[in-house]
Amino acid sequence: MRKAITGHKAVAEAMRQIEPDVVAVYPITPQSEIAEYYADYVHNGIVHTELVPVESEHSALSACVGAAAAGGRVMTATSSQGLALMVEVLYIAAGLRLPVVMALANRSLSAPINIHGDHSDAYLARDSGAVQIFAESAQEAYDYTLMAQRIAEDMRVRLPVIVNLDGFTLTHTVQPVDLLDDEPVKKFVGKFQPVSPLLDVDHPVTWGAFAMPDYYFELKRAQQAGMEAVPAVFLEVQREFSQVSGRRYQGFFEAYKLVDAEYALVVLGSTAGTAKVAVDELRAQGMKVGLLKPWLWRPFPAQAVAEAVAHVKAVAVLDRAFSFGTLGALFEDVAAALYPLERRPILANYIYGLGGRDITVPDLIKVFEELPRLTQNEWALRYIGLRE
């Protein structure tokens, strides 16, 4: 059923259909409406979920960890400072191999405090061990929330999954979203399979043990194996979801007019929508440009990315956050991915859109127009839309 709804509502609807056992959530702009919609479902008896209206995000994720270890399916949502407060527990959720699914309404980190969109929060959780997926639209946020549940709970993976959607740009704008019926969603998501749950009191298990140098390394290596299993699972889940939904999801990223492109742009999230318009306009003028939009950011599908852009003359990688003291995180991912190639495209790194700064079609056209002028890799950061 096609509906005109916000990104918030799209995520909340996915959560309603998944109907986890426990939702523990704390409000923060621009995520709060997800918490509010879900509270509405609970208080009107629409879902059976136990809502834990915690006193902080640290406790939100802690309650999720407790509930997941107990044997329940759990979800939460947050943004920016909320994620910053959660980070300690996010690493633990990953280390305990708990499938917590979380919507992250991307918002810049303080200071200066700012409620608008950028990816500094997602970047903060980059090395946490959580799988990270980026949505371009409310539709993708809905679809990937459903798929995230399957990826997180796959026995080969068992890791937290973050579904990123740009604050305000996606959370607050009304967009057409095709919602599936409840039944096929419930069938697709399936029953939750707990592993050694605390509530199996006849088989007591110690969760969160203390590991010394004699075991820590092996346990973390096992966690890395969970991450390494993600790509295959991601593709399987996409395939199945495409059948259920009739929407085509295939691959770790969307390659838009990339096959014959001479110049390409790599960008996460909603800006890809703007970039597609820029690509179309330049294509109309005869310039061969294309776009690579990763859905899966962690683990980073390096080989597939390298193969997809190997033929291009120059690539602009756009980061919507600083990784202070070095180049952008996405840029470094792409640069590392390209290193094994014999002939590498020229690379440039652009920082854009911090704290909700608008990014427009002309901005991106300008980036594309700069690429042919590059004769070698650009190691200095470039900026889009910055007053200097």
Partner 1 sequence: MPSIKVLAEREERGVRFTGGHTLCAGCAEPMVVRTVLHAIPDPVVVASPTGCLEVATSRFPGTAWNVPWIHVAFENAAAVISGVEAAYKALKKRGLIDKRVRFVVCAGDGGTYDIGLQALSGALERGHDFLYVCLNNEAYMNTGVQRSSATPKCAAATTAPVGDVILGKPQERKDLTEIVVAHGIPYVAQAAVSHLIDLANKVERAMKYEGPKFINVLTTCPLGWRTPRDSAIQQAKLAVETRYWPLYEVIEGRYKINYKPKERVPVEEWLKTQGRFRHLFRDEQGKELMAQIQAEVDRRWEALLAKEQCFGGNG
Q: Which is nearer to partner 1, 112 or 213 (CB)?
A: 213
Q: Are 66 and 203 spatial neighbours (Cβ–Cβ below 8 Å)?
A: no
Nearest Cα neighbor of 1 from 174, 138, 179 is 179
Question: Which residues does residue 131 pair with via DSSP β-bridges, in sequence order?
Answer: 161
- The least distance separating partner 1 from the CB of residue 203, rounded to whole angstroms, comes to 8
Please, which residue, 24 or 131, has the CB nearer to partner 1? Answer: 24
Separation CA 95–CA 90 (nearest Å): 9
Look-up: residue for tokens 């993976």?
157
Query: Least distance (Å) from partner 1 to the CB of residue 9?
Result: 24
Q: 52 vs 162, which CB is nearer to partner 1?
A: 52
CB of 48 to partner 1, least distance (A): 6
Q: How far is the CB of 173 from partner 1 (least distance, A)?
A: 33
For residue 36, give the 3-state DSSP assignment. helix
Interacting residues with partner 1 (CB under 8 A): 21-22, 24, 48-50, 52-56, 58-60, 62-72, 74, 88-89, 92, 96, 198-201, 204-212, 215, 219
Residue 71 or residue 273: which is nearer to partner 1 going by CB? 71
Question: Minimum distance between the CB of residue 210 and partner 1, rounded to whole angstroms?
Answer: 5
Smaller CB distance to partner 1: residue 212 or 380?
212
Q: State both tokens at 342.
A: 């014999």
Q: At its nearest, how many Å lie between partner 1 and the CB of residue 207?
A: 4
Our CB check for partner 1 shows the closer of 25 and 255 to be 25
Shortest Cβ distance from residue 49 to partner 1 (Å)? Answer: 7
- Asked whether 300 and 337 are in contact (CB, 8 A), the reply is yes
Q: Which is nearer to partner 1, 197 or 251 (CB)?
A: 197
Minimum distance from residue 202 beta carbon to partner 1 (Å): 8
Q: What are the C-alpha distances in Å from 26 to residues 34, 119, 146? A: 10, 20, 21
CA distance 80 to 171: 14
Q: Give the residue among 116, 114, 113, 96 at the shortest CA–CA distance from 105.
A: 116
| Environment class of 289 (CB within 10 Å of its CB; exposed 0-12, middle 13-18, buried 19+) | buried
Question: 308 near 258, Cβ under 8 Å?
Answer: yes
Cβ neighbours of residue 152 under 8 Å, at least 6 residues apart? Answer: 99, 100, 101, 131, 158, 159, 160, 161
**Cβ nearer to partner 1, comparing 158 with 357:** 158
